[in-house]
Amino acid sequence: MALIVHKYGGTSMGSAERIRNVSERVAKWHAAGHQMVVVPSAMAGETNRLIALAKEIEPDPDSRELDMISATGEQVSVGLLALALKARDVPAVSYAGWQVPVRTDSSFGKARILSIDAERVHADLAAGRVVIVTGFQGVDPDGHVTTLGRGGSDTSAVAVAAALKADECLIYTDVDGVYTTDPRIVPEARRMEKITFEEMLEMASLGSKVLQIRSVEFAGKYKVKTRVLSSLTPPDIDLALEAASGTLITFEEDETMEKAVISGIAFNRDEAKITLMRVPDRPGVAFQILGPVADANIDVDMIIQNQSVDGMTDFSFTVHRNEYQKALGVLEAQVRSSIGGGEIVGDPKICKVSAVGIGMRSHVGIASLMFRTLSEEGINIQMISTSEIKISVVIEDKYMELAVRALHKAFGLEHRSGATESVAGV
């Protein structure tokens, strides 16, 4: 007997029929003798609907009230799933985040989980009940409902698994695992049997929305055995077969891992670029520009400074698109006058495309293959950033799909053994 956490995303919970399927699958695991905790998302489209409704009333809604509204989607889901389980004579109980409680900080809309009380859930499990806990939401120290940011149910599930010391956390979604890139963009993308935690962390942080980045961080911190798999298989398939399907996140490389240099291509359309033209090239200028931006609580991702000509240079950086206007405002109001310089130019029509792989550590030539591939497609690279296991480029967003497809092909990701072969010569 094991303690298992299942997470079901919006599509998996998308209709009464799908919820019945989820209940059938959970009942199967329960009947096999496992203690079961289930963390569902809101039904597909529901969170978007709730946020749009709030914005109909007030275009710039108060963040506390917005969380109060957007958290309700998950509350409906847990109740419906409990009903579906009970209809199968499976004892079940549903809880909202505050009832567990899932304690978070007070950053409405992007709250961080601080702790989860395991006592109540353990008591229900000991009594043989399936426990259903809302994804995406928690409660702050003052009792206010908070939400964890879009895609946050993944994080709820892995955090619940960590708090309960679960044997495994299974993330059921509308694809059958983690692919070399989003299979909706590249149909030839290939599912990985396993992915290292480090690679998954990079893929998630660089835009692969199959897992929210914080869920991967939790999995790493608490060594939660986490697997991504399909909720769309028949719910009555053999349990052992299901348990071994999908993609497992591993904490150590082993000899059964595929020896790919690049394991995946990630992309992100959520950023915008800002350039300050002809700023003086002297000590302290980067701080003068980015200090006020940081003070305004705006995260900066990539930064680039050109070589100076006549003591003047261009300085560019990227921010999340949601914070683009705010960042421009800060620069106009606080920076331009203090450092002088020319125009401030903004460009929201960019995207970031990244190649990720731990094999990069021991291979040279990955960057040159990436740059050659983009140049052969006539795609101009605006910014570059690298780490030990990733290379990211900023390009014009209209080229995103072309770039992702070309890089996926160039790195041989669609063939089982191609990844090693295709970059062997570089």
- Positions that interact with ligand ADP (CB under 6 A): 9-12, 41, 151, 173-175, 178-179, 181-184, 208-210, 264
From the list ligand ADP, ligand ASP, Mg ion, none, partner contacted by residue 208 (C-beta under 5 to 8 A by kind): ligand ADP
Alpha-carbon distance of 133 to 101, in angstroms, equals 10
- Interface map 103-142 toward Mg ion (x if CB under 5 A): ----------------------------------------
Question: Which letter does DSSP use for residue 252 in this model?
Answer: S
State the minimum distance, in angstroms, from the CB of residue 163 to Mg ion: 20
List Cα–Cα distances, 174 to 38, 210, 315, 371, 395, in angstroms: 17, 9, 41, 33, 29
From the list ligand ADP, Mg ion, ligand ASP, none, partner contacted by residue 84 (C-beta under 5 to 8 A by kind): none
| Residue 153 binds to ligand ASP (criterion: CB under 6 A) | yes
Which residue from 152, 177, 207, 357 is in contact with ligand ASP, where contact means CB under 6 A?
Answer: 152
State both tokens at 5. 């956490």
Q: Report the residue number, 10 or 264, with the smaller CB distance to ligand ASP.
A: 10
| Residue 228 binds to ligand ASP (criterion: CB under 6 A) | no
**Which of 186, 187, 169 is CA-nearest to residue 247?**
169
Instruction: Say if residues 228 and 174 touch (Cβ distance below 8 Å).
Output: no
| Residue 151 binds to Mg ion (criterion: CB under 5 A) | yes
Q: Report the residue number, 151 or 246, with the smaller CB distance to ligand ASP.
A: 151
DSSP annotation string for 41-55: -PPTTHHHHHHHHHH
| Residue 264 binds to Mg ion (criterion: CB under 5 A) | no
- Interface map 330-349 toward ligand ASP (x if CB under 6 A): --------------------
Q: Report the residue number, 184 or 415, with the smaller CB distance to ligand ADP.
A: 184
Among the candidate windows 145-153, 200-208, 260-268, 339-347, which touches ligand ASP by CB under 6 A?
Answer: 145-153
* Residue 3 exposed, middle or buried by CB count within 10 Å (0-12, 13-18, 19+): middle
Range list of β-strands (E), 209-282:
226-230, 247-250, 264-268, 271-280
Q: Report the residue number, 151 or 359, with the smaller CB distance to ligand ASP.
A: 151
SS3 call for 132: strand
From the list ligand ADP, ligand ASP, Mg ion, none, partner contacted by residue 152 (C-beta under 5 to 8 A by kind): ligand ASP
Sole residue written with tokens 């209940």 = 23
Peptide bond before 292: cis, by omega within 30 degrees of 0? no
